Every structure is written in C-alpha cells, then in structure tokens.
Structure 1
Amino acid sequence: MLVVVSDTHAREESRLQGRTAEAVREADTVIHAGDFYREPVLDAFEAAADTLRAVYGNNDDAAVRDRVPEVRTVEYGGVRFAVTHRHRSGDTGLTMLGRGRDADAVICGHSHRPRFDDSGGLPILNPGSHAQPRGNRAAHAELTPNGDGRGLAGKLVTPAGESFETFRIEGGNAE
C-alpha cells in the first residue's frame, strides 16, 4: 500500500493518529508532500515509515530543506508520480510539472484540502492534512495496486478511518 500525507505543521512529532498512524506503519511506501515544519517531525516520519519519500514545503525549516528535495518522482504499482508541495501556477503548473517528469499523476499538498481531480491533463491528488485541516476534513490517501500492474485504486480517509472518496489512477508511463 502507498500512503500519502501532507501538511503536518508540527515542531516535534508526526501527529499521526488513528487510521492515519496505522496506514503509515502498514505502508510499503509513504509519500509526504511537504510542510513537516521542523526536522524532528521528519525524523518521526522516517521512524514510523519503512520507506519515506518526501518533499519540502513552503513552511519547512532549513534542516528539512537540506534533507529532502522540493520536487521528486516516485513510482509505485506501475504508476509514476511527480511530487511537490505546491506550484505557483496552480493546477496548470502542476500538470506541466507532471508532464515534464513523464508522470501519470501529480501529488501535492499546501491547501490542506483533500481532493482528487482527474478533469485536467493529469490526475492531481492532494491528501489534505491529517494534523491541521484548517476547516477541511482531516485526511490522508491510501492507494493499492489494482492487480493488473498498470494502475492504483485509491481512497481519501480520515484519521477515524472513514473513507469519503474513492478514485483510480491509471499507469502507463512507469516502466
């Protein structure tokens, strides 16, 4: 399972609770789409996740920025993701970033609003914030291979374990 989280905004701990904590511990790979805030939070995620693939966000301190990139490409289950915290040009910029990385989908954070949008050029997944939802539903994303080796079934899930949106991402660019 691939788990996607973002926007922790903490000083010392991961602030993982309930299903989000379980999912991170169970995951094959965890993607954090930025805004850990302080380096001990990054350390806590590395301790909780077997494989962490992270990017830094606009609120991350210099120590976090020294350890993780601003943008990265992650492949999982036959799907290639371009991962960043945000793009100043919104969804258009995110789509261009994904195309430039030959991605099947883009993962971002920043807004604290969980959403999956496949109406544009590339699917865009924002897991929201598990720890500081800022008026939105607290959430993370869980994705599992479809079994055909070319796509993932996904869902947005609250820390209480409620799944409130499902989606599918097709692979094809990843080798």
Structure 2
Amino acid sequence: MLVVVSDTHAREESRLQGRTAEAVREAELVIHAGDFYREPVLDAFQSTTAALRAVYGNNDDAAIRDRVPEVRTVEYAGVRFAVTHRHRSGDTGLVMLGRGRDADAVICGHSHRPRFDDSGGLPILNPGSHAQPRGNRPAHAELRPVDDGAGDGLDGRLVTPDGEEFETFRIGAESRE
C-alpha cells in the first residue's frame, strides 16, 4: 500500500493518530507532500515508516530543505507520480509539471483540502492534512494496486484519521502509453 500525507505543521512529532498512524506503519511506501515544519517531524516520519519519499513545503525549515527536494518523481506499482508541495500556477502548473516528468498523476499539498481531481488532463491528488485541516476534513490517501487483472493502476481512497472513507478513485498508467 502507498500512503500519502501532507501539511503536518508540527515542531517535534508526526501527529499521526488512528487510521492515519496505522496506514503509515503498514505502508510499503509513504509520500509526504511537504510542510513537515521542523526537522524533528521529518525524523519522526522516517522512523515510523519503512520507506519515505518527501518534498519540502513553503513552511519547512532550512534543515528539511537540505534533506529533501522541492519536486521529485516517485513510482509505485507501475504508476509514476510527480510530487511537489504547490505550484504558483495552480492546477495548470501542476499538470504541466506532471507532463514534464512523464507522470501519470500529480501529488501536491498546501491547501489542506483533501481532493482528487481528474478533470484537467492529468489526475491531481491532494491528501489534505491529517494534523491541521484548517476547516477542512482531516485526511490522508491510501492507494493499492488494482486487483482486476486489467494492468497497471491504483485504487485509491481518501480517509480520515477516524477511519472514515469519504472518496474513492482510480489512477491508471495509461498517460505514458
């Protein structure tokens, strides 16, 4: 399972609770889309999960910026993601970033609003914030390989720390074919 989190905004710990904590511990891979806030939070995530791929966000300190990139490409189960915290040109810029990295989808953070949007030419996934939702629903994303024999792809869901699933989606690898 791939788990995606973002916007922790903490000083010392990961602030993982409930289903989010379970999912991060169980995941084969965790992507953090930026705004850990302080370096001990990055360390906490690295000690909690087997494999972490992260980018830094606009609120991350210099120590985090020295350790993780602003943008990266991550592949999981045949699906390639362009990962960044935000793009100044909004969704259009995110789609362009993804196309430039030959990605099947883009993962971002910043807004603290969980969403999956596949209406703009390339799917965009924002897991929201598990720790500081700022008026939105606290959330993370969980993605598993499609189990229907149809080829590469991931079935995903947005989930609250209480374990409530509130949106499902599918991401395929068809954009690179």
With normalisation by structure 2, the TM-score equals 0.97
Q: State the secondary structure of the residue aligned to 2:36.
A: coil
For residue 8 of structure 1, what is the aligned residue in structure 2?
Answer: 8
- Paired with 1:96 and 1:8, the residues of 2 have a C-alpha distance of 26
Distance 1:121 1:166 in 2: 19
Instruction: Give the corresponding residue for 2:114.
Output: 114
Distance 1:115 1:71 in 2: 20
- The counterpart of 1:162, out of the listed 142, 160, 164, is 164
Shift of 1:173: 5.8
Displacement of 1:172:
3.7
> What is the distance in 2 between the residues matched to 1:23 and 1:32?
13
Any unmatched runs of 5+ in structure 2?
A: none
1:146-174 deviation line (CA, Å, top 9, x unaligned): 03441000000000000000000011467
Distance 2:170 2:9 in 1: 28
Aligned to 1:66: 66
Query: Residue deviations 1:106-143, cap 9 Å, x none?
Result: 00000000000000010000000000000000000000
Could you tell me which amino acid in structure 1 is paired with residue 59 of structure 2? N
Distance 1:156 1:171 in 2: 20
CA RMSD of aligned residues (A): 1.1
SS of 1:16 mapped into structure 2? coil
The amino acid of 1:59's aligned partner reads N
What do residues 11-39 of structure 1 show as CA deviations (whole Å, max 9, x unaligned)? 00000000000000000000000000000
Tell me the amino acid that sits aligned with residue 78 of structure 2.
G
CA distance in 2, matches of 1:168, 1:151: 7
Q: How does 1:135-154 map to 2 (within 5 A)?
A: 135-147=135-147, 148=149, 149-154=151-156
Match of residue 19 from structure 1: 19
Measure, in 1, the Cα distance between the counterparts of 2:176 and 2:112: 28
| Cα deviation code 1:61-114 (max 9, x no counterpart) | 000000000000000011000000000000000000000000000000000000
TM-score by length of 1: 0.98
Q: Which amino acid aligns with 1:34?
A: G
**Residues 34-113 of structure 1: pairs in structure 2 closer than 5 A:** 34-113=34-113
Which residue in 1 is equivalent to 2:30? 30
Question: Distance between the aligned counterparts of 2:21 and 2:28, measured in 1?
Answer: 14
- Give me the whole-angstrom Cα distance separating, in 2, the residues matched to 1:38 and 1:174: 36
Structure 1 segments unaligned to the other structure (5+ residues): none
SS of match in other structure, 1:47: helix
